[in-house]
Amino acid sequence: MSSELETPSEGVDESEKRGYEEPEWKNHAKQTDLSELLKDGTKESHDRAENTQFVKDFLKGHIKKDLFKLATTALYFTYSALEEEMDRNKSHPAFAPLYFPTELHRKEALTKDMEYFFGEDWREKVKCSEATQHYVDRIHYVGQHEPELLVAHAYTRYMGDLSGGQVLKKVAQRMLKLPSTGEGTQFYLFENIDNAQQFKQFYRARMNALDLDLKIKEKIVEEANKAFEYNMQIFNELDKAGSLLAKESQDGELPIHDGKGDVRKCPYYAAQQGKGGSHPSPTTSDRVGHLGPLIPWCLLLALPLQVPMRVVLAPSKMSWSY
Ligand code: HEM
């Protein structure tokens, strides 16, 4: 299966190299298998995630490029955190058998996508959104304090990416007119996995072989549901950003927050207010370093550094994935 199988990731032994095939006896799922508990225990969350507005719109091809860029940004921060914690725990017995950097890790691919969308200086142009930051914080907490739950986060993301990624990639390429050579959609390409279905089977068997008691397995399922929830929060945030961008482009103008524009139209502004947080009107003398609490992250992305308070969104075209 993987072209890397001659030099597989750490932890793949000789008997497993041939196409990640599992021995016959491992194909009989048990109710207490972690893979079964996870699949059953997150079914409802999966249904809800599939039915979020953002995901439904994406599948229908209602995608605009600016929103896709925001989604890619969210993925970049998420996978950076996840893979940092997986690297940290690569020798931990509750995670080591699931450590497949060559096959699974996405940060490098996402870095290429970010460069493609935002240019070489992309790091100075993007910011982690509020919902993404919550997810990132949880991943770091788990990696550092409860590493036996890290499998829940790896499962939720990578198994999902391996399941629906190809469809989403095609939708994005078609609707955003992205090159079929893969620029901007590297995230969806697992070039070291030839057969996603087989790899998922192999990964499930690895999860089932972890030495965990039922109580911990239940905590892992609970954590996976939290991971779904964090993902849905990001989808909802993206959906709001998408509505804002769509509305602004319908109005036929570029949205400008220059202290005169109506910052209350922004969902992030509303969320701040709802929390009782102060969100004063921006002033023209503010510079980007001070804008964090003043300007929503979605608008910040398009803000050229060192330019006084004038936020211009690129003429619309945007959207997303999972
Ligand atoms: C676009 C909407 C989605 C569709 C159409 C979709 C579709 C699917 C399908 C068909 C499978 C079964 C694959 C198999 O058994 O081999 C699957 C599995 C999975 N999906 Fe999704 N999915 C969607 C959204 C999501 C989201 C948003 C997440 C999480 C962020 C997610 C996470 C997962 C996981 C973890 C699995 C593995 C389940 C298991 O076998 O234990 N999916 N998905």
pLDDT band per the 50, 70, 90 thresholds, residue 267: very low
What are the structure tokens assigned to 148, written together?
């036996």
How many domains in the chain? Answer: 1
Structure tokens at 256: 């400008």
Task: Flag whether 58 is in a domain.
Answer: yes
Q: Mean of the pLDDT values across residues 231-259?
A: 77
The answer to whether position 278 is within a domain reads: no
Higher pLDDT, 315 or 236: 236
Q: Nearest C-alpha to atom 24 of ligand 1 is from which residue?
A: 50
Q: Which is nearest to 231 in space by CA: 45, 56, 106? A: 45
Across-strand partners of 257?
311
- Pocket around ligand 1 at a 6 A CB cut-off: 38-39, 46, 49-50, 55, 59, 155-156, 159-160, 163-164, 200, 228, 231, 322
pLDDT digits (tens, 9 = 90+) for 160-180: 999 988 889 999 999 999 999
| pLDDT (0 to 100) of residue 18 | 44
Residue 302 confidence (pLDDT) above 50: no
Nearest protein CA to atom 6 of ligand 1, as residue: 164
What pLDDT score was predicted for residue 252?
54
**Exposure pattern of 187-213 as b/e (b: 16+ CB <10 Å)?**
bbebebbeebebbbbbbbbbbbebebe
Pocket residue to mutate for ligand 1, from 163, 208, 235, most atoms within 8 A of Cβ? 163
Determine the residue of 40, 46, 78, 171 to mutate for testing ligand 1's pocket, defined as the one with the most ligand atoms within 8 A of the Cβ atom.
46
- Is 299 contained in some domain? no
Which one has a higher pLDDT value, 45 or 317? Answer: 45
Say whether pLDDT at 251 is over 70: no
Region 19-38 average pLDDT: 74
Residue 229 Cα, ligand 1 centroid: separation in angstroms? Answer: 14
Spacing, Cα 305 to ligand 1 middle (Å): 39
Report the separation in Å between the CA atom of 118 and the middle of ligand 1, taken as the mean of its atom positions.
29
Q: How confident is the model at residue 228 (pLDDT cuts 50, 70, 90)?
A: very high
Cα 212 to middle of ligand 1, angstroms:
24
* Cα gap 114→69, rounded to integer Å: 8
Whether 279 is covered by a domain: the verdict is no
Q: Quote the pLDDT of residue 227.
A: 98
The SS3 call for residue 241 is helix
Whole-structure pTM value? 0.77
Q: Which two tokens stand for residue 320?
A: 């997303």
Residue nearest to atom 42 of ligand 1 (CA): 160
- The answer to whether residue 19 sits within a structural domain is no
Instruction: Say if 195 falls within a structural domain.
Output: yes
* Beta-sheet strands, E only, within the chain: 256-257, 311-312
Average pLDDT, the chain: 78
**Which of ligand 1's atoms lies nearest the C-alpha of 224?**
35
* CATH number of the domain to which 104 belongs: 1.20.910.10
pLDDT (tens digit per residue) in 52-65: 999 999 999 998 99
Domain with 83 in it? 28-246
pLDDT at 97 over 60: yes
Query: Which position has the higher pLDDT, 74 or 274?
Result: 74
Q: Which atom of ligand 1 is nearest to the CA of 158?
A: 35
With 0-12 / 13-18 / 19 or more C-beta atoms within 10 angstroms meaning exposed / middle / buried, residue 17 is middle
Please check whether residue 253 lies inside any domain of the structure: no
**Confidence grade of residue 30 (pLDDT, cut at 50, 70, 90):** confident
More confident residue, 309 or 215: 215
Using one digit for the tens of pLDDT, what is the confidence trace for 110-121? 999 999 999 999
Residue 38 inside a domain? The answer is yes
